[in-house]
Amino acid sequence: MAVQDADTNLLNLSFNEFDLKLKEYAKEFNVPIIKDGGLALLEQTIMLKRPKRILEIGTAIGYSAIRMNRLIGSEIYTIERNIDMYNEALKNVKALNKENEIHIIFKDALEAFDDVKNLEFDMIFIDAAKAQYMKFFNLYTPLLTKNGVVFCDNMLFHGLVLDEANYDNLSRSVRGLARKLKAFHDELLSNKDYKTSVFDIGDGVSISIKL
Ligand code: SAH
Ligand code: MG
């Protein structure tokens, strides 16, 4: 199937080629898009859950938003605070003519609640600043439907999070992030309102199902 396009060199690419272009771009400019293993689990979660609407925190160039939307046409609201990322994502979404299904909000996610507060989401994908996962979770899960799913990427952060014996060897900033993710991890696993599992796949992903 050909990708329809406006004015970019993405014209007439198959979805496969389009995805590869985005992955190449991410590699060249060091954009941390979701790894293939994490994406595979994300896709299967969507096929099982069949969410009508998904909230994503952390758009980057729109790669995961586009991949999530493609499966069953879930409506995506995605939040990005970096102007260059936002513009690149918008370009990619427009190249696919998906502006009506993938809505990109250019804001810090901690300040974007009002933009989506009247909506309900069947799934929330958290994939932005790791130090803020707990805040994102607390801010946005009131909008999650019953039996909704929270999916988080980078939960193991290159394997550093659970290797507490090694924390002393990390730089102070990396140690801080590892500690914050570990605290979030523990909080999720002990949260009685959710059934959570953490998977050592990609950069570590968690799936939490609201009970
Ligand atoms: N989900 C994307 C990758 C996101 S990378 C994919 O897999 O394709 C993380 C992105 O989150 C970066 O672009 C960064 O600018 C953005 N980000 C980090 N903290 C944020 C915040 N507080 N609000 C909005 N965006 C944020
Ligand atoms: Mg990620």
- The predicted-structure confidence for 56-107, as pLDDT tens digits, reads as follows 999 999 999 999 999 999 999 999 999 999 999 999 999 999 999 999 999 9
Smallest-distance ligand from the CA of 107: 1
Please report where in the chains the tokens 């970096």 appear, as a residue.
82
* Number of compact structural domains in the chain: 1
Chain center to CA of 143: 16
Which mutation among 82, 110, 139, 140 tests ligand 1's pocket best, with the greatest number of atoms within 8 A of CB?
Answer: 82
Would you state the pLDDT for residue 91?
97
DSSP label of 4: P
Domain presence at residue 180: yes
The pTM is what? 0.94
Would you state the pLDDT for residue 78?
98
Interval between CA 155 and ligand 1 midpoint (Å): 14
Q: Which domain holds residue 100?
A: 32-210
pLDDT band for position 205 (50/70/90)? very high
Domain presence at residue 153: yes
Counting from 1 in the atom list of ligand 1, the atom nearest the Cα of 136 is 22
CATH for 60: 3.40.50.150
Interval between CA 60 and ligand 1 midpoint (Å): 5
171-195 residue pLDDT tens? 999 899 899 999 999 999 999 999 9
Q: Which of 130, 155, 171, 161 lies closest to 207 in space, CA to CA?
A: 155
Q: Tell me, letter by letter, the H, E, C secondary structure of 113-150.
A: HHHHCCCCEEEEEECCCHHHHHHHHHHHHHHEEEEEEE
Domain presence at residue 39: yes
Counting from 1 in the atom list of ligand 1, the atom nearest the Cα of 58 is 11
Give CA–CA dist 185/153, Å, rounded.
12
DSSP letters spanning 70-86? HHH--EEEEEE--HHHH
pLDDT band for position 1 (50/70/90)? very low
Backbone angles phi, psi at 77, to 5 degrees: -110, 125
161 lines ligand 1 (CB under 6 A): no
Domain presence at residue 16: no
pLDDT band for position 4 (50/70/90)? low
